[in-house]
Amino acid sequence: MKKNMGSVDRVFRVILAAIVVVLYYAGLISGTTAIILLGLAAVFVLTSLASFCPLYLPFGLSTLRKNINDKP
């Protein structure tokens, strides 16, 4: 698994996940919406920890900053 997520992307995903959890515990989201959003929040945290997003692969996306010395 080659990393394809930069630090800004990772932090943004963790913040979004935290917001969803807060909204759930505050009772502002519930039911099917809560289940879907909590599942998405879990995926965001896992992909952030791994620095890898499988959805970026088919599109050739990467938010990882490249070093000058890296070969293309």
Output the pLDDT for position 18.
98
The verdict on residue 27 lying in a domain is yes
Domain that holds residue 19: 7-50
Read off the pLDDT of residues 45-63 as tens digits, 9 standing for 90 and up.
Answer: 999 999 999 999 999 999 9
**Count: domains in the chain:** 1
Give CA–CA dist 9/13, Å, rounded.
6
Asked if the model's pLDDT at residue 72 lies above 80, the reply is no
**Mean pLDDT score of the chain:** 92
